[in-house]
Amino acid sequence: QPVLTQAPSASGTPGQRVAISCSGSSSNIENNYVYWYQQLPGTAPKVLIYRNDQRPSGVPDRFSGSKSGTSASLAISGLRSEDEADYYCATWDDSLSGRVFGGGTKLTVL
Amino acid sequence: QVQLQESGPGLVNPSGTLSLTCRVSGGSISSSNWWSWVRQPPGKGLEWIGEISHTGSTHYHPSLKSRVAVSVDKSKNQFFLSLRSVTAADTAVYHCARLDDSAGYFQYWGQGALVTVSS
Which residue pairs from A54-58 have beta carbons closer than 8 angstroms and sit at least 24 positions apart in sequence? A54/B103, A56/B103, A56/B105
Mean of all residue pLDDT scores within chain B: 95
pLDDT of A2 reads 87
Q: What is the DSSP code string of B58-98?
A: EEE-TTTTTTEEEEEEGGGTEEEEEE-S--GGG-EEEEEEE
Taking only the tens place, the pLDDT of each residue in B28-71 is 998 877 999 999 999 999 999 999 998 889 999 999 999 999 99
For an interface test with A, the pick among B37, B47, B94, B105 (most A C-beta atoms closer than 10 Å) comes out as: B105
What residues of chain B lie within 8 A of the CB of A88, using their CB? Answer: 45-46
Taking only the tens place, the pLDDT of each residue in A80-107 is 999 999 999 999 999 999 999 999 999 9
pLDDT of A86 reads 98
Say if B45 is an interface residue toward chain A (CB within 8 Å): yes
pLDDT of B32 reads 78
